[in-house]
Amino acid sequence: MTKQTIYWPPERQDSGVREAAAAIAAGGVVAFPTETVYGLGGDARSGEAVARIFAAKGRPSDNPLIVHLADAAEADALASSIGPLERRLMAAFWPGPLTLVLPVRPGAVSERVTAGLDTVAVRVPAHALAQRLIAAAGCPIAAPSANRSGRPSPTLARHVLEDLDGRIDGVLDGGPTGVGLESTVVRVVDGVIHVLRPGGVTAEQLQEAAGADVPVVSGGGPTGERHSSPEAEDAEAPRSPGVKYTHYAPKGVMTLVAADDPGRLRAAVQAQADAARQSGGRVGILACDEHAGAYRADAVLALGPRDEPRQAAQALYAALRECDERGLDYIVAESFPERGIGAALMNRMAKAAGGRIVRA
Ligand code: TXA
Ligand code: MG
């Protein structure tokens, strides 16, 4: 499946958008920046284009894609009904990093996009280049993150090329993405907002926009913290097919260390790193800026200040890729507080660790 992948640099955005839109209109697949991560886009109505997206990524076909629109008004063409609470969320967060799972209007998009489900995931990205591309292509754009399946999502055009050069038609370089983690995926059922995947829009922001009387239900936090009232939990709660797959896995074995007390956290991280070193491999540590200087390891990667999880969110995926580049066999990562975007950050770190979480 080798093909010439065109690179459109930041200084050639106008012709880049034109050519990328033409490629998508012709059934091709093109990577583009959004405010969260780079996406790999194709015409959501075309089964062939969508099949190319799955093939380029090596993605299991039972994991549905998010459809990207230039404007919220276009959602009515894709969804068979949109309730008042969903409209409130659209008004509050679009354009922005919120994905809504809505009942699909039959025939509106290829069945490959929805993986045969009766729902479709929709969002309006808050990125000028993404909006111009979607508008110019003149179609809804199905776009998963532009990484090979199982790799960290790309936050730079370079990451896209690392994974997909020769497998896609082109990549529009818009520089680093802003949020650095994917959108929040929600589904409204019977007046309850279910967070299927935490992301750029926080549970606190959802609660504020929805009003105090609307339950916002998330899974338990990755390190055991709960974000919602247990009575709102539902055995039949909607799920996102994607969450069952291992994601964001670096090549090295990663362990996430959680502790409320910073002193205990530092001691436990160093102990884990020392133990890993005993076994002979190269060991890296992912840490907050404040702690990074004190650790001993083959590599220490600082993610940002401890009380600024937005910076760590932005830095995480590039750091995981760097761990691979540096050939680290073991990675020990500090946990961050699970407030705000910290919940999504910890969700991704726990996945990267494949569930290996140590409580200190
Ligand atoms: O920020 C983002 O959301 C990025 C950018 C490119 O927009 N996209 C992204 O797509 O993260 P992807 O394919 O990597 O993740 C899509 C997630 C998966 O967990 C998938 O299972 C879920 O959305 N999803 C898609 N359609 C769904 C549906 N109909 N019902 C439930 N979950 C759905
Ligand atoms: Mg993805």
Residue nearest to atom 19 of ligand 1 (CA): 242
Q: How many CB atoms lie within 10 A of CB 79?
A: 21
Using DSSP's 3-state secondary structure scheme, residue 351 falls into helix
Ligand 1 contact via 144 beta carbon (within 6 Å): yes
325 lies in a domain?
yes
Atom of ligand 1 minimally distant from the CA of 197 = 19
Q: 140, 172, 204: which is the final residue of a domain?
A: 172
Ligand 1 contact via 130 beta carbon (within 6 Å): no
More confident residue, 260 or 234: 260
Beta carbons of 327 and 227 less than 8 angstroms apart: no
- Amino acid identity of residue 64, one-letter, is P
Residues 134 and 272 in one domain: no
Tell me which residue range forms the domain holding 313: 253-359
Hey, which of 185, 194, 239, 246 would you mutate to test ligand 1's pocket, going by the most ligand atoms within 8 Å of its Cβ?
Answer: 185
28 lies in a domain?
yes
Ligand 1 contact via 119 beta carbon (within 6 Å): yes
| Centre of ligand 1 from the C-alpha of residue 154, in Å | 14
pLDDT digits (tens, 9 = 90+) for 283-327: 999 999 999 999 999 999 999 999 999 999 999 999 999 999 999
Cis peptide before 95 (omega within 30 of 0): yes
**Token output for 19:** 């050519």
pLDDT of residue 245: 61
Phi, psi (5° rounding) for residue 14?
Answer: -65, -50
Hey, which of 36, 99, 160, 314 would you mutate to test ligand 1's pocket, going by the most ligand atoms within 8 Å of its Cβ?
Answer: 99
Phi, psi (5° rounding) for residue 112?
Answer: -70, -30
Q: How many domains does the chain have?
A: 2
Q: Which residues pair with 188 in a beta bridge?
A: 193
**Residue 310's CATH number:** 3.40.50.11030
Residue nearest to atom 32 of ligand 1 (CA): 240
pLDDT digits (tens, 9 = 90+) for 96-142: 999 999 999 999 999 999 999 999 999 999 999 999 999 999 999 99
Cis peptide before 125 (omega within 30 of 0): no
Q: Which of 288, 266, 257 is nearest to 358 (CA)?
A: 257
**Residue 153's CATH number:** 3.90.870.10
Q: Enumerate residues with CB within 5 Å of ligand 2 (an ion).
A: 145
Whether the per-residue pLDDT at 227 is higher than 50: the answer is: no
* Banded pLDDT at 225 (limits 50, 70, 90): very low
Ligand 1 contact via 99 beta carbon (within 6 Å): yes
Residues 155 and 14 in one domain: yes
Beta carbons of 149 and 9 less than 8 angstroms apart: no
Per cent of the chain over pLDDT 90 is 88
Which of 52-56, 188-192, 216-220 has the lowest average pLDDT? Answer: 216-220
Q: Which residue has the tokens 């969508």?
A: 50
Residues 167 and 290 in one domain: no
Using DSSP's 3-state secondary structure scheme, residue 103 falls into strand
Atom of ligand 1 minimally distant from the CA of 38 = 6
Q: 152, 172, 192: which is the final residue of a domain?
A: 172
| Centre of ligand 2 from the C-alpha of residue 315, in Å | 16
Ligand 1 contact via 145 beta carbon (within 6 Å): yes
Record the pTM: 0.94
Residues 44 and 167 in one domain: yes
Q: Which residues pair with 31 in a beta bridge?
A: 40, 171
Residues 16 and 153 in one domain: yes
Atom of ligand 1 minimally distant from the CA of 63 = 21
d(CA 217, CA 215): 6
Residue nearest to atom 17 of ligand 1 (CA): 242
Q: 127, 155, 172: which is the final residue of a domain?
A: 172
Query: Could you tell me how far CA 351 lies from the centroid of its own chain?
Result: 12
